Structure 1
Amino acid sequence: MSSENTEITAPSGLDFLRSIIEGRTPQAPISHTLGFRLVGADPGVAVFEGETGEHLYNPMGTVHGGYLTTLLDSALGSAVFSRLPAGTGYTTAQINVHLIRPVTARTGKLRATGTAVHVGRTLGTAEAQVVGVDDGKVYAHATTTCAIFAMR
């Protein structure tokens, strides 16, 4: 028997996000449920894209605000995560969302871009916008505070 060290180290947040984009790690299950995906990650930045459709409508005939909030939360948290070292995780502690115009099935593809503002030892903050890919309009924007913790 070999006595080699076979300990597997966890990837950094950025490396993990890039493994999702490259298809080595699956997209999060919520991505399949709501029809969006992680498409970009750089240090302090994460980008998600999603298609709109009537399956996302609320009773008023527009895309439910929860869809936009989920896109924003994903981009915000992933922007913070992209700056975290291996073995460190995060969870959303607070999110503040501004839904500024209605979204319908005709809106088409949306892009949520999150940017980390501050990533410290115990807290991270970020800001994000949801923009229409075809029309360039801002549909929503948000800020977050994330709690940062050691993963065990």
Structure 2
Amino acid sequence: MFKVQRLNLPPYNISIRQHGGRDQIFDVLRRKFVALTPEEWVRQHFIHFLADHKGYPASLLANEVQLRVGDKTVRADSVLYDTSLRPLMIVEYKAPSIALTQKVFDQISVYNLLLHVDYLVVSNGLETYCCRMDYDNQKYLFLQDIPDYENL
């Protein structure tokens, strides 16, 4: 049985079930139950936070976006697209027990080499960092909060 961990994200109406002896959580974006892992716990809370509290349209969010890096296939945890379906934000999740280190930022930076988004977000459900890319000056600016969708 999955041990529920309190996160620094708003609660939502969670749908969990047991299937084949394993806990599963409903992913509203993939429209199916998926394995309930600590990272998935964070992802589902975060997606609901973006949609319910920040005004992000669920129709423009995708989970587990497959990317090719050379001959290797990787998956970005979540990607937000603009209305022209251009990638706008990458979100990388870690389990609450995983520290958000430089290694996590290096991982999301590799994804951004392919997607070239405006915003990068990393979260373990307890801590969240959001930065806006400044490509002209080749740096990123950490933001105090995740912007509302209308302010992106």
TM-score, normalized by the shorter chain, greater than 0.5: no
Q: Taking structure 1 as the reference length, what is the TM-score of the superposition?
A: 0.31
Asked which structure has the greater RCO (Cα within 8 Å, sep 6+), the reply is 1
Q: Taking structure 2 as the reference length, what is the TM-score of the superposition?
A: 0.31
